[in-house]
Structure 1
Amino acid sequence: MAPKIQKSDAEWREQLSESAYRVTRLAGTERPFSHPGFAPGPGTFLCTCCGEPLFTKDTKFDSGCGWPSFTAPLKGEAVEEHVDTTHGMRRTEVTCSSCGAHLGHVFPDGPPEAGGLRYCINGVALDFEQEEG
């Protein structure tokens, strides 16, 4: 399915930081443990490109891999999954369903009690909106 939000390369470059552009528009990856983290407390993780709600803080867990990890997207249609065979591997890429931004990958090694999936997402691809209260 084609992304709902479409912009020119120049528009994305103008809107995003260099690292966010490289990760989200060119399917790059930030170095592990390079993202400073997010505010404490409950909230929602949004796509840094389009602001679409993607994950909630209550599905975030520390997998030790160096990238933010989640057990599930906020809703199934928030992200799309695609086969990725780059770098000599077969993985499942995760993209924003609204704008097509590359977010990261999903792996079957998450907490079994939460469904067994680990959405390994680049921190630079996310903005955090803390809940009021």
Structure 2
Amino acid sequence: MKLASFLPSLFGLLGNVGSAALGDKMAAYNTAAQTAVKAAVTKVDDGVDHLQTAFKSWEANNPVAQEAIDGTVGLLRDLGIAVPKEDVVVTHVKAAIADLAGIFVPVTSTAAVPAASTDTQAG
């Protein structure tokens, strides 16, 4: 067996395994962030209001944001998953807040919808 013919298939296989592992890790980060944000909304007084504020303008000292960041890190550690740098955790928490804000926070602005024409005259 020639090594040159074997290496490309080996690298392809390792690339696929690496991509799957990375995908699993990203899914774990997303799930932990979603769970932590949901828990933060229920734990913090006026959680939905803080969720809306965090969605409109990110501030790390927002009680829901801070609780969600701490919760995400805690969940990942409890699951035995290596905790990424804080900016990665914050990115996933922001994404979870954006997802959940669409569910929990009512839309406060309405888009202008043209009125249906009632003109029945034929042109």
The normalised TM-score by structure 1 is 0.27
Computing the radius of gyration over CA atoms, which structure comes out larger, 1 or 2?
Answer: 2
The normalised TM-score by structure 2 is 0.29
Decide which structure has greater strand share.
1
Decide which structure has greater helix share.
2
